[in-house]
Amino acid sequence: MSPHLSLLAWALPVVPAVAGTALALTRPTSRRVAHGATLSAAAVTLALTIVAAATRPSTSTPFLLGTDLGLRVDGLAAVVSVTVAAVALLALTFAAGGERDVDQAPGRFGGLMLLFTAAVLITVTATTLPTLLLAWEVMGATSYALIGFSWRDPERVSSGLVAFVTTRAADLGLYVAAAAALAGGHGLALADLAHADPGPRTVVAAGVAVAGLGKAAQLPFSFWLSRAMVGPSPVSALLHSAAMVAMGGYLLLRVPDLLTATWVGPAVAWVGAVTAVVLGVVAIAQRDLKQVLAASTASQLGFVVLAAGVGGVTAGTTQLVAHAATKALLFLVAGAWLSALGTKALPALRGAGRRWPLVGVVATLGLLSLAGVAPLALWASKEAVLASAVEHGTALYAVGLLGAALSAGYAGRVLAVVLAPLESDADRTADARLDTEEEGTREVTTAMRVPMLVLGLGAAGLGVLVLPPVSSALASAVGDPRAPAPGLVELLASAALALVVLVVAWRVRLPEPAWARDWLHLEDLMQRAVVEPTDRLAGSLARFDDEVLSAAVASTARTTLRLSDLAARFDGDVIDRAVKGLAHAVRRAGSLARRPQTGQLHQYYAQSVAVLAVAAVLLVLVR
C-alpha cells in the first residue's frame, strides 16, 4: 500500500474531525462563517470518500494486545462511506437554509455534525473491534449532543438521554464480543471473528447482534427512535437515514460469516422481519409526520437486518443505500414543512404538498419509494431482500412481504393527507392548526429545496441497483457474487401489491390501533422491566454501601484510632520511661566509672593493690 493511499485512509475521518473540533471549540456565531466552514469540510469529505471508493486505501497502526487500529475502504465500505458523506453534505446544506434550531448556534451544530460524520466514517472503515469500539463511543456521544441540541429544553435533553442510554445498553454487546473474541484465540480483527472457537464464536455473534439491533432500533429497542425525533430535522435526516441507525444494520452486514455460522443469524433475520411488520403497524398508528418516519425507519431497517441474518450482503446494502436517500429526503421534507408551517402533525399538514409544488413533488417521490412503487428505489431493494429470505423458508419470506405491504399502507396514508386538495373549509381548519409547535416562516428557502431535489432524484433512480449489470457489479464489490436476484414475476407482483395497498390506504381510512400508537408502550415496559429493577438494585446496593460497608470502614477507622491512642500512651508512659531510666542508669554508671580515673599514678597503684588483695582473698576462699 503506497504512503499516499495510507494517508488517504486516515484523511477520511481526520478532515471532518479536525474541522468539527475547531468549530465546536470556537463556536463562530456568524451564520456565514459557520455554515461556510461546515459545508466546505463536508464537501472535502465527500470528495475524499469518492476518491477512496475508487482507490480502496487501507492503513493500520499497532494498538494493544497485538491488535491494530485499522481502516480499510473495501467494496462495502466504499458504497456506504460515499452514501454517508453525501447525505451529511445535503443535510448540512438544508440546515444552512434557515433551520430555526440550527441558527441558535450554527458553529456548535456544524462542529457536532462533522464530528459525528467522522465517527461514522471510522465505523464504516474499521477493520478491528478496538477501532470499531472507539468510533462507536464517539458516535453515541455526539448523537446524544445532537438529539438534545436545544439543551435549554429539558424534554429534548431527556429524550436525548433516553436514546443514548438505550443504545449504550445494547452497545455492551460489543464489549462482550471483544472479550469472547480474545478468549476465542483468533484476535480482534473483524475478518477473523468467524474463525473463533465454536463456543466463544457464538458469544461473539450474539454480542455483535445485540449491539447492531440496538443501534438499528430493532425490537425491543425501537422506542428510543421515537424519543430521538425531538432533534433538529437535519439531524434526523443524517442520523436516522444513512448514519447512526443505519450503522446497526451495517455492522451486521459486515460480519455475515460470523452470523450465519451460528444460530444467531436466523434469530437476527427473524427479529428484522418481525420488526418490519410490527413497526409498520406502529407507523400506521402515528399522527405526527416525524413519528411516522421514525417508525418506518425501524421497519425499513428491519429489511437490512433480515438480509444480514441470512447472509444477503448485496440485498442489505441495496436496501441500506435506497433507504438512506428516501428517508433523508422525507425527514428534510418534514423539516421544511415544520419550518414553514410551524407543525408536523398530520391533520395540520393537509394539502401541504400543494403549497410548494417542488416540495410536494419530491415528497411524493419519497413516499412512493417508501411504499415500494416501481421503479423507485425501495421497490427493488425490498424485493432483493425477499429474494434472499425465500431461500431460508417461505415463512420468513411471507413475514417480509407483509412488512413490505405495510410500507405501502403508511406511505399511502401520509400521501393522501399531504396531497389532499385544500378546499375552503378544510383550508381554514388546517390553517387553524398551524404554528402549534413553533412560528412558521411560510417559506421554503432555496438552500432547503436543493438537497431535497437531489435526494428526490436518488429516491427515484436508485432502483437501478438491483438491475443488471449494476447489481452484478455491486455484488462483486461487496464480496457476495452469488447473491440471488429477484425474478421478474416477483418484481411485478410486489409492485402490484404495493400499488393495491397504496390505493386502499389513499381511499380508505386505515385503522389506527391504539396499542401501537404509543410504540407498543415499549418504553414503559422497559422502564418497568429493566430501569426500575435496576434502580431498586442500585438503591439497595447504595444502602448496603452506606449502612454496611461505610459503617464497617468507619468502625475500623475508630478502632484503629483507639488502638493508636493506646499505643501512643504505652509508648509515652512505658517505652519512653524505660528508655529514659536506662539512659539515666547508664549515665550514673558512666559517672561512677569516671571517679577512679583521677590521672594520679599513686592512686592507680593503690587501686591495683586493692584489686589484687581482693583477688587473693577470693582465691583463698574459693580453694
**Residue 291 pLDDT exceeds 90:** yes
Q: What integer pLDDT is reported at residue 545 of this predicted model?
A: 93
**Residue 225 pLDDT exceeds 70:** yes
Q: Phi/psi at 33 (nearest 5 deg)?
A: -65, -50
Query: What tens digit of pLDDT does each residue of 343-390 get?
Result: 999 989 999 999 999 999 999 999 999 999 999 999 989 989 999 999
Question: Is residue 352 within 8 Å of 516, Cβ to Cβ?
Answer: no
Q: Which residues make Cβ contacts (< 8 Å) with residue 118, sequence separation at least 6?
A: 13, 14, 15, 16, 17, 20, 138
Q: What integer pLDDT is reported at residue 101 of this predicted model?
A: 82
Q: What integer pLDDT is reported at residue 429 of this predicted model?
A: 57
**Percent above pLDDT 70 for the chain:** 98
Angle between helices 377-390 and 488-507 (to 10 degrees): 120
Across residues 473-480, what is the average pLDDT? 89
User: What's the start-to-end Cα distance of the chain, in Å?
Assistant: 108
**Residue 426 pLDDT exceeds 70:** no
Across residues 292-302, what is the average pLDDT? 96
**Residue 321 pLDDT exceeds 90:** yes
Q: What is the CA radius of gyration of the chain?
A: 37
**Residue 2 pLDDT exceeds 90:** no
C-alpha closest to that of 44 among 75, 73, 70, 17: 17
Q: For the chain, give the longest Cα–Cα distance.
A: 149
**Residue 196 pLDDT exceeds 80:** yes
Across residues 64-68, what is the average pLDDT? 75
Residue position matching grid coordinates 471549540: 25
380 or 533, which is more confident? 533
pLDDT band for 436, please (50, 70, 90 cuts): confident
Residue position matching grid coordinates 381548519: 429
**Residue 52 pLDDT exceeds 60:** yes
Please state whether the peptide bond connecting residue 232 to the residue before it is cis, i.e. omega within 30 degrees of 0: no
Across residues 27-36, what is the average pLDDT? 90
pLDDT band for 463, please (50, 70, 90 cuts): confident
pLDDT band for 223, please (50, 70, 90 cuts): very high
Mean pLDDT is lowest, of 242-251, 481-490, 521-530, 551-560, for: 481-490
Across residues 217-236, what is the average pLDDT? 93
Q: What integer pLDDT is reported at residue 486 of this predicted model?
A: 83
Question: Is residue 140 within 8 Å of 164, Cβ to Cβ?
Answer: yes
pLDDT band for 509, please (50, 70, 90 cuts): confident
**Residue 523 pLDDT exceeds 60:** yes
* Residue 442 to residue 445: CA distance in whole angstroms: 10
Residue position matching grid coordinates 467522522: 118
pLDDT band for 471, please (50, 70, 90 cuts): confident
602 or 226, which is more confident? 226
Q: What integer pLDDT is reported at residue 242 of this predicted model?
A: 84
pLDDT band for 14, please (50, 70, 90 cuts): very high
Q: What integer pLDDT is reported at residue 246 of this predicted model?
A: 95
Residue 483 is given by DSSP the state: P
**Residue 427 pLDDT exceeds 60:** no
Cell representation of residue 80:
456506504
Distances in whole angstroms, Cα of residue 494 to Cα of each of 43, 326, 362, 415, 606 = 38, 18, 23, 19, 136
**Residue 473 pLDDT exceeds 80:** yes
Q: What integer pLDDT is reported at residue 504 of this predicted model?
A: 94
Q: What integer pLDDT is reported at residue 452 of this predicted model?
A: 96
What is the reported pTM? 0.87
Q: What integer pLDDT is reported at residue 197 of this predicted model?
A: 87
Count H helices and E strands in the chain, helices first: 29, 2
SS3 485: coil
Q: Which residues make Cβ contacts (< 8 Å) with residue 77, sequence separation at least 6?
A: 124, 125
**Residue 341 pLDDT exceeds 60:** yes
pLDDT band for 424, please (50, 70, 90 cuts): low
**Residue 204 pLDDT exceeds 80:** yes
